[in-house]
Amino acid sequence: MAIKDYLTKLFPKSLWVYHVNTGACNGCDIEVINVLTPYYDAERFGIKLVGSPRHADVLLVCGPVSRQVASAVRRVYEATPSPKLVFAIGSCACGGGIWHDSYNILGGAESVLPVDYYVPGCPPRPEAILYGVAVALGILPKKTAPVVARQKFLDVVEANSGEAISPEG
Ligand code: SF4
């Protein structure tokens, strides 16, 4: 089975995402945007970046949460209709990263939001972000680490396509 067909099966429903920078250095933001470029082409799977949290199913949160933006981030969450998912993208969003004990940092995204999935890395590779979405869709057990999920996912794709696929692919 071609990878594209297989992925289309795995992502049968559209997921509209809203990107939130809570104080990131822009490294994670670049990778989130990278996922949406024609190279990774997440729109093939119905994953689309939207300009308002009111239209979103998923919040992609990048960066440690600074005191300055905490209330604004909460308002973004409240403006997103339920059901909704929150992804913490990158080590900073997962737990504060190298800034965790800074005077102006509250911590990772979970310090102000209920986070559903964590995609670690500094920054995470675009593939890891895509695999995080695969976890969200129930393809893999909840709370499975994206790196592990990614490897399992590649095994399945490889088995179905009959082609060797490099994990670094
Ligand atoms: S995880 Fe790394 S790349 Fe992402 S915001 Fe933090 S320092 Fe920047």
**Residue boundaries of the structural domains of the chain:** 3-161
pTM equals 0.75
Pocket of ligand 1, candidates 92, 100, 118, 125: which has the most ligand atoms within 8 Å of its Cβ, to mutate?
A: 92
Tell me, in angstroms, the distance from the centre of ligand 1 to residue 89's CA. 9
Tell me, in angstroms, the distance from the centre of ligand 1 to residue 110's CA. 16
Check whether 119 has a pLDDT greater than 60. Answer: yes
Question: How many Cβ atoms sit within 10 Å of the Cβ of residue 18?
Answer: 21
Which has the higher per-residue pLDDT, 60 or 14?
60
pLDDT band at 128 (very low <50, low <70, confident <90, very high): confident
Check whether 118 has a pLDDT greater than 60. Answer: yes
pLDDT band at 138 (very low <50, low <70, confident <90, very high): low
Pocket of ligand 1, candidates 20, 32, 34, 91: which has the most ligand atoms within 8 Å of its Cβ, to mutate?
A: 91
Tell me, in angstroms, the distance from the centre of ligand 1 to residue 61's CA. 11
Which has the higher per-residue pLDDT, 31 or 168?
31
pLDDT recorded at residue 163? 53
Check whether 133 has a pLDDT greater than 80. Answer: no
Check whether 101 has a pLDDT greater than 80. Answer: yes
Write down the mean pLDDT value for the chain.
79
Check whether 51 has a pLDDT greater than 80. Answer: yes
- CATH tag for 3-161 (out of 3.40.50.12280, 3.30.420.10, 3.60.15.10, 2.40.30.10): 3.40.50.12280
Ligand 1 surroundings by CB, under 6 angstroms: 24-25, 27-28, 62-63, 90-92, 97, 122-123
| Spatial contact of 13 and 47, defined as CB atoms under 8 Å apart | no
Check whether 21 has a pLDDT greater than 70. Answer: yes
Check whether 62 has a pLDDT greater than 90. Answer: yes
Secondary structure, 3-state, the chain: CCHHHHHHHHCCCCEEEEEEECCCCCHHHHHHHHHHCCCCCHHHHCEEECCCHHHCCEEEEECCEECCCHHHHHHHHHHCCCCCEEEEECHHHHHCHHHCCCCCEEECHHHCCCCCEEECCCCCCHHHHHHHHHHHCCCCCCCCCHHHHHHHHHHHHHHHHCCCCCCCC
Check whether 33 has a pLDDT greater than 60. Answer: yes
